[in-house]
A and B are shown apart, each in its own frame.
Chain A
Amino acid sequence: MSNRPLSPHLQIWKWGPHMLVSILHRVSGDGLAIAGLAMLLWWLGALAGGPEAYASFTGWVWADLGSLDWSGAAIFASLVKIVLKLVIIGISWAFFNHLCSGLRHFVLDIGAGFELTANRTWSIASIVLGFVLTAAFWAAIIWL
């Protein structure tokens, strides 16, 4: 088994958007599966735990950046709070990116969209749409 030939890997091929969308699909899927589901369980556990647990959860993952404590040992906690906020925003992008590239997979599954120009167009479109939907989601959260 170990002597079986390997297919050429990333460094062999000329980069194109179809490669990027494939890699981002796996990256965003892994991110959702690990960070996204962990955050989902933390959220659900905090809600089931009651108002105090929920306040602790929101204090960590969505801290008011203006009132972070930057003295002594609190610096570490403040850094964690900033990272958690980035994780939340990252999860939202991972969802919309995985959604768009997943829908692209459904189209490919029926045998459509393999022509070179169509494949290139929809690869770029699904990546761009992932970012656009992420921005639209946060705009809706902030202004709706």
Chain B
Amino acid sequence: MGNGTSIGRVRGLGSAHAGAHHWLLQRFTAVGNLVLVSFLVISFAMLPDFGYDTVAGWLAQPITATAMILMVISTFWHARIGLQVVVEDYVHNAGTKFGVLTLLNLATIGGAAFGIFCIARLALTGAA
């Protein structure tokens, strides 16, 4: 708490107790998602079919694999800080909030690691 000035009395009283860095990261990753998920969506529309050889061969290309690894990082990061805000809005007990955010970190970092590993495996083992 502050020294009695009007700003000092309210600083840090938002549900997250901090903000600008988190807010900016949400925007930076949003721009990443805009570019990278659009790449995925346009690729879906342009792929001739969704058979294994076509899709795995597309994903194993260097540019595609790089874009998809970056997309996994950007989307999971964006999802992690987005869901954090939801948790901060609705989970008010400090201990429960700590636990839920811990699970959120484990799920999103673990999920992103699995996604990156899968793409790297396809790209490096020369599928299709």
Contact = CB atoms under 8 A, between A and B. Distances in A.
Nearest to B85: A26
A47 B56 contact: yes
B120 to A, nearest CB: 9
Interface of A is mostly: helix
Given A32-B79, A140-B45, A141-B44, A40 B115 contact: yes
A interface residue count range (under 10 / 10 to 19 / 20 to 34 / 35 or more): 20 to 34
A55 B46 contact: no
A47 B59 contact: yes
Given A44-B118, A47-B118, A47-B122, A30 B52 contact: no
Contacts of A5: none
B52 A54 contact: yes
Interface residues of B, number: 31
B119 interface: yes
A81 to B, nearest CB: 16
A28 to B, nearest CB: 11
B108 to A, nearest CB: 8
Interface of A: 26, 29-30, 32-33, 36-38, 40-41, 44-45, 47-48, 50-51, 54-55, 58, 62, 95, 99, 102-103, 105-106, 109, 137, 140-141, 144
26 contacts: A33-B79, A36-B75, A37-B75, A37-B76, A37-B111, A40-B72, A41-B111, A41-B118, A44-B72, A45-B118, A47-B56, A48-B118, A48-B122, A51-B53, A54-B55, A55-B52, A58-B50, A99-B37, A106-B27, A106-B30, A109-B27, A137-B41, A137-B44, A137-B45, A144-B45, A144-B46
Per CB-CB distance, the 4 closest pairs between chain A and chain B, nearest first, are A33-B79, A48-B118, A140-B45, A44-B118
